[in-house]
Chains A and B, each alone.
Chain A
């Protein structure tokens, strides 16, 4: 084990996979010579050379389309989108093409393309640099979506994403980049589709992911002092979902809060809430609560962003509310 930041762990996964498989190459804006805006690709050009680590122009639509073609032609490309917000200039490639190719080809053309990116707010980066867009990516079938909450998962999940034969979008959170924790040395792979119970509890389950896992742990800590036992489950992968872990926890606590930073409408919480109530209705003792961003673009001023984005206090309130009604 080593103490690593999420940036270092992401970098370690890229190194692990570049070293392991000559088909892997990493590319994007400022990734090679500069080492990445957030240092995620630091040193890769030096250590793996210019055929494996490549700078691109600011041409997201073009280079994601090229990632698709390269993947179809036998490579395992890893494209970096500097901010997930910039995926929006490339949505046609992502959703009309990358997500659909395997299906449209009758399963004959796999697309082992990985897109690494970062999202999230809480930093005053305003409406075009603070978003969590996983729900957009999940709405259309065909993309796997992964959001690590800590360094070990960043390393393990990214390795699994690169080895996966499907297009995977791997989304770090900018607030977590510097967060250090223990990461296994050597080869480390966390299979996609496995949630992780971060804290056992008996009264209510909080399903969450990414930056809000930490907030959820804080809320659970506080709830415990008020006599409420919260189980915190980090979903880690939103597609595929780990139904086994979700169902086991709901069956244990009978109360559910789903929390995410993205907007409420048509979001992951609403979707998961439906799936839980339709599959496990008899297990539920209270309405499912969803904590999400207010449905407004992320505002710049702190006074406003604080209201729009979820807080530990809102998570706590939802957990207590689920139990006390």
Chain B
């Protein structure tokens, strides 16, 4: 589905990604873990075309490195940013509508699905996006990206700042996304839900991948956890 090879990215002069290799198969949930500032978000942004990158990103067999963000999105790649980017002046419903790539787009998800999964968003559908709670914003930003019906979605630090109950609900949603045939790259800092729902995990340290394996591999490998995850 997605194959990243020897990906390099820069912010000005600083060499942030120094040869990243990641691959994700169809319908898989793969997690990308690592401490603050190691370059996980930059990896997502490089895939989306939001930061200039070198190397290879093949999506469904096609090279997409260097493509403009809206064209990457139209290939079927979705991105849920860690800053959420809720449009503050638009209502919850309008935020969702802008997730559709065209007014008439029909896909795996509809607005009424979103409202059944998250009744809070339904109640607040006419409230401005800037005024809803942090948890509601997180759900809204994921659902907004789902409206565009991606075949592959990158979700950057969704559990950050969420109440434990919401984290559980989120894990459920991500599993549901994968069940509908969408591949997921879940970016997290801690193991949290990653161990439970992913089929494979990557750990990143200083701009490159330092571990790749299944949740079982990581559970038994205490050295890697100590060196690259725990603070």
Is the pairing of A and B real?
Answer: no
- Name B's A-contacting residues (CB within 8 A): none
- Name A's B-contacting residues (CB within 8 A): none
